[in-house]
Structure 1
């Protein structure tokens, strides 16, 4: 079971990707809602950042 701190860390990693404008992480459901500028980034780049942080995106 992942700790809330770890889940929130993933939120910070996602927020650090250029082009991400909104990240809302829900530790209870372990889900994140992400809004991003499609001309600056894409879902695969966001997933790659999560992997680089040591986590596997779902």
Structure 2
């Protein structure tokens, strides 16, 4: 099992504000680097079979 604290520490978070067509909005940005190609990471986030894993 992965160490939860290490997983949380690996993500960088930022909170800010932005202007959208509907008006002002709060924004949340979460960045995480993975040792995988962008297509592989995107598939892990969008393919229902992989999301379940």
Name the TM-score, length of structure 2 as normaliser.
Answer: 0.28
Structure number with the bigger relative contact order (C-alpha 8 A, sep ≥ 6) is 1
Larger radius of gyration: 2
Structure having the higher strand fraction is 2
Name the TM-score, length of structure 1 as normaliser.
Answer: 0.27
